[in-house]
Amino acid sequence: MGFFARLLGLENYAFDEVFIRKEVVFGIIKFAKSNYPKEFSAFLRGRIKSRKLIVEGIIYQNFQSSENSSVITTNLPVLSGRVGTAHSHPGPRNAPSKADIEFFSKYGSVNLIIGKPYAAETIAAYDGRGRRISFNII
């Protein structure tokens, strides 16, 4: 970590592992199924402790969606605990589009996409640049 990162306290935001509470996974599955065939979007709430990012909840915001996209309204305070995003795709593909990657770069460290048939096994995680990352369900 460089001098400026240490000066600004950015090392507090570095993590090596991602853990997602099972209640969050169940919520994402439920929300994806209830919005099908449209997409849904939400923010993820969590914290970083001992270089582990722990996703603890879902922050629902107003969003507009179609079968091809979802646009979320962001009116969260800076200290909301937002660590990333979650959204669904109406088909089995859970890889990010160019628009998804642009969205990821603005809103978090971990970004989840769930594809049909909407199960824990169809969730993929990506960093802010759209690179796939692993995660554990706890």
In terms of residue numbers, what domain contains 94?
14-72+80-137
96 assigned to some structural domain: yes
The CATH number of residue 128's host domain is: 3.40.140.10
Q: Which parts of the chain fold into alpha helices (H)?
A: 3-7, 22-35, 98-107
7 assigned to some structural domain: no
6 assigned to some structural domain: no
Q: With DSSP H G I counted as helix, E B as strand and the rest as coil, what are the percentages for the chain, rounded to 5? A: 25, 35, 40
So what's the pLDDT on residue 77?
Answer: 52
93 assigned to some structural domain: yes
76-105 confidence digits (pLDDT tens): 555 568 899 999 999 999 999 998 998 888
SS3 131: coil
1 assigned to some structural domain: no
2-50 confidence digits (pLDDT tens): 444 444 444 456 899 999 999 999 999 999 999 999 988 889 999 999 9
40 assigned to some structural domain: yes
What residues contact 93, with CB distance under 8 A and at least 6 apart? 115
So what's the pLDDT on residue 79?
Answer: 52
The answer, yes or no, to whether residue 122 has pLDDT greater than 60, is yes
Q: Per-residue pLDDT averaged across 112-133, rounded?
A: 96
68 assigned to some structural domain: yes
8 assigned to some structural domain: no
Q: What is the largest CA-CA distance in the chain?
A: 48
> How far apart are alpha carbons 17 and 62 in whole angstroms?
30
Residue 61 sits at φ, ψ, to 5 deg, of -130, 160
Task: Please count the CA atoms within 13 angstroms of the CA of 106 that sit on its side-chain side.
Answer: 9
The answer, yes or no, to whether residue 74 has pLDDT greater than 80, is no
Kindly report the pTM of this predicted structure: 0.82
Domain count of the chain? 1
